[in-house]
């Protein structure tokens, strides 16, 4: 590292101020300024003078340009229908999806069963090895007996046979 520094700056103390240089710097600087003075060219006016009457009229000019100018307010009534559109669109999409999804199930099955004749259904059931437990497992008892009245059930069951048991 020292070799790199010595290559860059071969003299060790190249920039050195004489001793006591900064002790009297301020006073020396002010002395030089006061001796030389502030000299202006004779034809140029002092550059930091304001024109006559500038500050007398300044306050009025500022008020005229800021406070006294009142913009014309335009009252508009903005109706924000965006939330209603979003809600209506969401309900429409949800109802359309539910009609499409839930409306597909049963009518297609009923139409498919309507195309098959009773003889074909009986022939199919005759070929299958189904017992009554299989049929009962497909249809709950409440559903099977909903359309049957109590009188029809009594006509179907032999009451005398039940008393023997």
Taking the CA atoms of the chain, what radius of gyration do you get in angstroms?
54
On whether residue 26 sits in a domain, the answer given is: no
| pTM (predicted TM-score) | 0.21
On whether residue 47 sits in a domain, the answer given is: no
Tokens of 149: 């009245």
Domain limits for position 136: 90-164
Domain count, the chain: 1
On whether residue 96 sits in a domain, the answer given is: yes
On whether residue 39 sits in a domain, the answer given is: no
On whether residue 144 sits in a domain, the answer given is: yes
On whether residue 85 sits in a domain, the answer given is: no
On whether residue 156 sits in a domain, the answer given is: yes
The model's pLDDT over 129-156, given as tens digits with 9 standing for 90+, comes to: 777 777 777 766 666 667 778 888 777 7
Tens of each residue's pLDDT in the chain, 165 residues: 666 666 666 666 667 777 887 888 888 888 887 776 655 555 566 667 777 888 888 888 887 777 765 667 777 776 776 778 888 999 999 999 988 888 765 555 566 767 788 888 888 878 887 777 777 777 666 666 677 788 887 777 766 666 655
Tokens of 4: 């790199």
């Amino acid at each position: 590292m020292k070799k790199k520094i010595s290559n860059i700056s071969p003299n060790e103390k190249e920039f050195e101020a004489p001793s006591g240089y900064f002790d009297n710097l301020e006073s020396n600087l002010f002395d030089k300024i006061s001796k030389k003075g502030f000299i202006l060219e004779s034809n140029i006016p002092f550059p930091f003078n304001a024109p006559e009457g500038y500050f007398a009229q300044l306050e009025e000019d500022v008020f005229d340009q800021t406070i006294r100018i009142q913009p014309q307010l335009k009252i508009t009534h903005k109706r924000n229908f965006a939330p209603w559109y979003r809600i209506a669109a969401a309900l429409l999409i949800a109802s359309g999806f539910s009609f499409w999804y839930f409306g597909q199930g049963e009518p297609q099955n009923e139409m498919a069963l309507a195309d098959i004749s009773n003889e074909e259904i009986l022939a199919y059931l005759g070929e299958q090895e189904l017992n009554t437990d299989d049929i009962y497992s497909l249809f709950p008892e409440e559903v099977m007996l909903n359309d049957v009245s109590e009188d029809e059930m009594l006509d179907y069951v032999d009451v005398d046979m039940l008393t023997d048991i």
